[in-house]
Amino acid sequence: MRIHHLAVVVADLARAEAFYAGLFGLPVLRRQEGRSVWLALEGGAFLAIEQAGADGPPRADAAPGWHCVALGIAKEDREAWRARATAAGHPVERETAWTLYLRDPDGNLVALSHHPD
């Protein structure tokens, strides 16, 4: 199977679009005003940013559920992505030899990975 789409529920749709489309340059495929924005990923998949219908606490990283969304980057672009994310107010929170981890505006973990190089 292939991934059809991923979805993230957010408190502020415009703020999340600015993060995912603005910071990562993901093109908008479809917009349903006040409900969702779909952003293109390679291979025909898309990231659906969905407006939350209720308030609630964020999921803790150690709790059951999806841990993060990992986007592929080239190894040689790693430091440029670090600088770009930090300049946009989303500094790298932690990292491994292959992956940088940062948070979206709602606190969701996003990884930028070049594994296995």
The tokens of 89 are what?
């107010």
CATH of the domain at 107: 3.30.720.110
Same domain? 71 vs 27: no
Residues 79/85/87/88 CA torsion (nearest 10 deg): 160
Average pLDDT over residues 94-110: 96
Domain membership of residue 25 (yes or no) is yes
What b/e string do you get for 22-42 counting C-beta neighbours within 10 Å, with b at 16 or more? ebbebeeeeeeeeebbbbebe
> What is the structure's pLDDT at 59?
82
Domain membership of residue 62 (yes or no) is no
The span from the CA of 36 to the CA of 108, in Å, is: 17
Domain region containing 27: 1-53
How do residues 43-97 score in pLDDT, each as one tens digit? 999 999 999 998 888 888 888 888 899 999 999 999 999 999 999 999 999 999 9
% of the chain with per-residue pLDDT over 90: 86
Read off the pTM: 0.91
